C-alpha cells in the first residue's frame, strides 16, 4: 500500500540549520548533514533542505552543504532556495539532490519547469507555492492567492490555477505552503490543501502549521495531502518522525514505520 | 567490486554512484565507451525520465554490447526506466524497442481516481526464491516514482499494488530489475544493492 510521506524540512542559512518564526529570530539548530541523517534514521520519508539565504555569494556554501548532506543520505533529498535557472538546478543535482524545489523563479519564467524536467525528469521538479487565503474573495479558499518574498508580496495569481499550470508544464509535485498557517503550529490549511490536491493529478505536499499528530492525520484525511512537511516540531527533539508515524499508524494512516 | 554504470543522459547518476560507492563498489561510468561494458564485472543501468531516452543505447552501440555481456553471465541491474528497457518496449515511446530480454511490454497505469505518477514508499510482495530481494521482510518499504510499469509474469521477483498489481522487480538468471529506486530506499534499498553486488553465478550441479 502506498504510504503517506512525512517530510522533514531543514531551513539552512550559511551552512547551518536554523529555526525561527517567519525567518526571524533565527536559532542555530545544528549541522545539516547530521540533522538529515538523524531524520532519515528516525523514519523521515524524505528530506527537504531549504536555503533561506539564497544569495549569490552563498551558492558555493550551499552546494558544499548539499554535497556533504547527500553523501550518507539514502532517502529522497530535495533542495530549494535560490534556484533561478536550469544551470542552478544542474549544479544542485550534481551535488547529490534528487529533486529541486522552485518557487519565484518558476513564476517569473514558467518555462523553467519544463527546462529542468527535460534534462532531469519531471519527478525531479517540485514547484513550491506560497499561498494565502483571500479574505475579500467570495470563496477565500478557491481564490487563495500566490505570494512571494516570504509571503509579503502577492503576484496576482490564484493558487489552484497556478498549480494546474505547473502540472501542465511538467512539475512532478506541488509543495504547498500556507503562509497563514506557517509557524503557528495550529494545523495545516486542510481546505486549501484539498482544493489544490483535487485540482491536480500530481502529488501535493502540505506545509505550514504542523504542531500535533492530529494535524498530520487531518491533512492526510480531509486535506487529501499525499505528503506533509514539518520543520519546527522535529527540532530540538520535540517529536521524532518515528513517534509521529507510530501515532499516525494507530489512527489508521498508512505510513512506513522505520525498521 | 567493479561496477560499470551506463549513462544514457536520462537524469542524474549522482545518487546511484554515491550509493554504490558507499557499499564499497568501484564505479566506472560509460556513455559510449564500449570497452567498459566488454570488461564489466557488473552492470547497472539507472534511469529516470522518458523511455525514449533509451534510444541513445542503440545509437552508441551500447545495446548490443550489453546484450553480449548479459549472455556472458555478467550480473545486470536495471533501475526504473532501466528495468523497463529490459522488456520489449513501452507504450511511453512505442517506436523505441527495448532489449526484449523479457518479451512483454510496459504500459501506463490504468485510468483511475488515484494519482499518477505513483510517488512514494510502497510495500513489496517478494516472491520466493528471489536472490535480489533476499532478506526483504514483509512490512519493508521502497521508494517509487513512475507512471509506467511492467506486467506481473513468471519473471516477476516482487509485486506491488497501486491501482493494479505490477512488477516492482524482475529477475531471471543474471538479469535483475527494480521499478523502485533502491538507492533512495533507506536500509531496505541498501540491502537489495548489497545482494546485487554479492550476486554470483551458481555452480553448475554435477
Sign of CA dihedral A54, A57, A60, A64: negative
Strands A5-13 and A16-21: antiparallel
Is B203 a domain residue?
no
The reply to whether B9 falls in a domain is: yes
Tell the residue number behind the cell numbers 506533509, with chain if given: A228
Chain A hits for B186, CB-CB cut-off 8 Å, are: 40, 74-75, 258
Residue B204 lies in a domain: no
Averaged pLDDT for residues A207-233: 94
Phi, psi (rounded to 5 degrees) for A223:
-80, -10
Write down the pLDDT at residue A54.
Answer: 66
pLDDT(B87) > 70? yes
* Structural domain harbouring B160: 2-198
Coil, helix or strand at residue A201: coil
Instruction: Give the nearest partner residue to B141 out of A122, A123, A256, using CB atoms.
Output: A256
> Exposed, middle or buried, B72 (CB in 10 Å: 0-12/13-18/19+)?
exposed
Residue A82 is predicted with a pLDDT of 87
Is the four-CA dihedral A147, A129, A221, A236 of positive or negative sign?
negative
Residue A85 and residue A104 in contact, taking contact as beta carbons nearer than 8 Å: no
| Cβ pair B119:A259 closer than 8 A | no
Is residue B206 included in any domain, yes or no? no
Instruction: State the Rg of chain A over Cα.
Output: 17
pLDDT, position A240: 87
Length of chain B equals 206
For chain A, report the end-to-end CA distance as a whole number of angstroms. 17
- Three-state DSSP class for residue B77: strand
What's the gap between Cα B154 and its chain centre? Answer: 17
Rounded to an integer, the average pLDDT of A163-174 is 97
**DSSP β-bridge partners for residue B27:** B3
β-strands A77-80, A173-178 pairing: unpaired
Torsion-angle region of A137 (φ positive above 0: left; ψ -120 to 50: alpha; else: beta)? beta
pLDDT (0 to 100) of residue B49: 80
Distance (Å, whole) CA B151 – CA B156: 8
Contact status, residue A128 vs residue A101, Cβ threshold 8 Å = yes
| B interface with A, Cβ–Cβ below 8 Å | 10-12, 14-15, 18-19, 22, 48-50, 115-123, 139-141, 143, 145-146, 161-162, 183-190
**Which chain A residues have a beta carbon less than 8 Å from that of B123?**
1
Q: How far apart are CA A40 and CA B146, in angstroms?
A: 22
Task: Give yes or no for residue A23 having a pLDDT over 60.
Answer: no
Q: How many domains does chain B have?
A: 1
- Residue of higher predicted confidence among A157 and A58: A157
Are B70 and B63 within 8 A, CB to CB? no
Selecting from A119, A226, A257 the residue whose C-beta is nearest the C-beta of B120 gives A226
Taking the CA of residue A4 and the nearest CA in chain B, the distance in Å comes to: 8
Q: Which of B18, B141, B146 sits opposite A71 (nearest CB)?
A: B18
* Chain A residues within 8 Å of chain B (Cβ atoms): 1-5, 40, 45, 70-72, 74-76, 93-96, 98, 119-124, 172-173, 201-203, 226-227, 256-259
By the 8 A CB rule, do A211 and A233 touch? yes
For chain A, give the mean pLDDT: 92
Is the pLDDT confidence value at B31 over 90?
yes
Q: Does the pTM exceed 0.90?
A: yes
Pairing of strands B89-90, B76-79: unpaired
Is the predicted pLDDT of residue A175 greater than 90, yes or no? Answer: yes
Computed over every residue of chain B, the mean pLDDT equals 95
Q: Count Cβ–Cβ pairs < 8 Å, chain A vs chain B.
A: 95
Query: Which cell numbers in the block locate residue B161?
Result: 499494488
Note whether A95 contacts B18, CB cutoff 8 Å. Answer: no
Three-state DSSP class for residue A60: helix
B95 contacts: CB under 8 Å, gap ≥ 6: none
Is A11 annotated as catalytic?
yes
Identify the CA nearest to A259 among candidates B34, B199, B185: B185
Burial of A224 (0-12, 13-18, 19+ CB in 10 A): middle
Would you give the end-to-end CA distance of chain B in angstroms? Answer: 28
Q: Quick one: what percent of chain B has pLDDT higher than 90?
A: 90
- The average pLDDT across A8-37 equals 83
Cell digits of residue B12: 542524474
Residue B137 lies in a domain: yes
Check residue A232 and give its pLDDT: 76
Q: Which residues from chain B sit within 8 angstroms of residue A4, using beta carbons?
A: 120
Burial of A57 (0-12, 13-18, 19+ CB in 10 A): exposed
The residue of A256, A257, A259 whose CB has the most chain B CBs within 10 angstroms, and thus the best one to mutate to test that interface, is A256
Name every chain B residue with its beta carbon within 8 A of the beta carbon of A258. Answer: 186
The reply to whether B173 falls in a domain is: yes
Question: Between chains, do B120 and A98 touch, taking CB under 8 Å as contact?
Answer: no
Domains in chain A and their CATH numbers?
A: 5-250 (3.20.20.70)
| Within-domain flag for B176 | yes
Query: CA torsion angle for B40, B44, B50, B56 (degrees, to 10)?
Result: 0
Q: Which residues of A touch B121 (CB under 8 A)?
A: 2-3, 5, 45, 256
Query: In Å, how far from its chain's centre is CA B194?
Result: 14
In a domain, B205, yes or no: no
Interface test with A, best of B50, B119, B187 (most A CBs within 10 A): B119
Q: Under DSSP, is residue A145 helix (H, G, I), strand (E, B) or coil?
A: strand
> Which H or E element spans position B170?
strand B164-172
The partner residue sitting opposite A74, judged by closest CB among B123, B162, B189, is B189
Residue B42 near residue B18, CB atoms below 8 Å: no
Which class for B76: exposed (0-12), middle (13-18), buried (19 or more C-beta within 10 A)? buried
pLDDT tens, position by position, B108-162: 999 998 999 999 999 999 999 999 999 999 889 999 999 999 999 999 999 999 9
pLDDT of residue A235 exceeding 80, the answer is: no
Q: How far is A143 from chain B (nearest CA, A)?
A: 23
Looking up residue B58, the CATH number of its domain turns out to be 3.40.50.880
| Cα gap A64→A79, rounded to integer Å | 12
Amino acid at each position: 500500500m502506498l504510504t503517506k510521506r512525512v517530510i522533514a524540512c531543514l531551513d539552512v542559512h550559511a551552512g547551518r540549520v536554523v529555526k525561527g518564526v517567519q525567518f526571524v529570530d533565527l536559532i542555530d539548530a545544528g549541522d545539516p548533514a547530521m540533522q538529515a541523517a538523524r531524520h532519515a534514521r528516525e523514519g523521515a520519508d524524505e528530506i527537504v533542505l531549504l536555503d533561506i539565504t539564497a544569495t549569490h555569494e552563498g551558492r558555493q556554501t550551499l552546494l558544499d552543504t548539499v554535497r556533504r548532506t547527500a553523501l550518507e543520505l539514502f532517502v529522497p533529498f530535495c533542495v530549494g532556495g535560490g534556484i533561478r535557472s536550469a544551470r542552478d538546478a544542474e549544479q544542485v543535482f550534481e551535488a547529490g539532490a534528487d529533486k529541486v524545489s522552485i518557487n519565484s523563479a518558476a513564476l517569473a519564467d514558467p518555462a523553467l519547469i519544463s527546462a529542468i524536467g527535460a534534462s532531469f525528469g519531471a519527478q525531479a521538479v517540485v514547484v513550491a507555492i506560497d499561498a494565502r487565503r483571500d479574505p475579500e474573495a467570495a470563496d477565500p479558499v478557491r481564490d487563495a492567492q500566490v505570494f512571494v518574498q516570504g509571503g509579503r508580496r502577492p503576484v496576482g495569481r490564484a493558487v489552484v490555477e497556478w498549480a494546474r499550470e505547473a502540472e501542465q508544464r511538467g512539475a512532478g509535485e506541488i509543495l504547498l505552503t500556507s503562509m497563514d498557517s506557517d509557524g503557528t503550529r495550529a494545523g495545516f490549511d486542510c481546505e486549501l490543501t484539498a482544493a489544490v490536491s483535487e485540482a491536480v493529478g500530481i502529488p501535493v505536499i502540505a506545509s505550514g502549521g504542523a504542531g500535533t499528530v492530529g494535524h498530520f492525520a487531518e491533512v492526510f484525511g480531509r486535506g487529501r495531502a499525499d505528503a506533509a512537511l514539518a520543520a519546527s516540531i522535529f527540532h530540538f527533539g520535540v517529536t521524532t518522525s518515528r513517534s509521529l508515524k507510530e501515532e499516525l499508524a494507530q489512527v489508521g494512516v498508512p505510513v512506513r514505520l522505520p525498521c | 567490486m567493479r561496477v560499470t554504470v551506463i549513462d544514457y543522459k536520462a537524469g542524474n547518476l549522482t545518487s546511484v554512484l554515491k550509493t554504490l560507492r558507499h557499499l564499497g563498489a568501484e564505479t566506472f561510468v560509460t556513455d559510449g565507451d564500449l570497452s567498459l561494458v566488454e570488461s564489466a564485472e557488473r552492470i547497472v543501468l539507472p534511469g529516470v525520465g522518458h523511455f525514449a531516452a533509451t534510444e541513445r543505447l542503440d545509437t552508441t552501440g551500447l545495446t548490443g554490447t550489453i546484450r553480449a555481456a548479459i549472455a556472458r553471465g555478467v550480473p545486470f541491474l536495471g533501475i526504473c526506466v532501466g528495468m523497463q528497457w529490459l522488456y520489449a518496449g513501452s507504450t511511453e515511446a512505442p517506436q523505441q524497442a527495448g532489449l526484449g530480454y523479457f518479451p512483454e511490454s510496459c504500459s501506463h497505469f490504468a485510468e483511475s481516481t488515484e494519482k499518477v505518477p505513483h510517488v512514494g514508499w510502497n510495500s513489496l510482495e517478494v516472491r520466493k526464491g528471489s536472490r535480489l530481494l533476499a532478506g526483504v521482510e514483509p512490512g519493508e518499504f521502497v521508494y517509487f516514482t513512475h507512471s509506467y510499469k511492467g506486467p506481473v509474469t513468471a519473471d516477476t521477483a516482487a509485486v506491488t499494488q497501486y491501482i493494479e498489481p505490477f512488477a516492482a522487480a524482475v529477475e531471471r538468471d543474471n538479469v535483475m530489475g527494480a521499478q523502485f529506486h533502491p538507492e533512495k530506499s533507506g536500509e531496505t534499498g541498501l540491502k537489495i544493492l548489497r545482494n546485487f553486488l554479492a550476486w554470483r553465478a551458481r555452480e553448475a550441479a554435477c
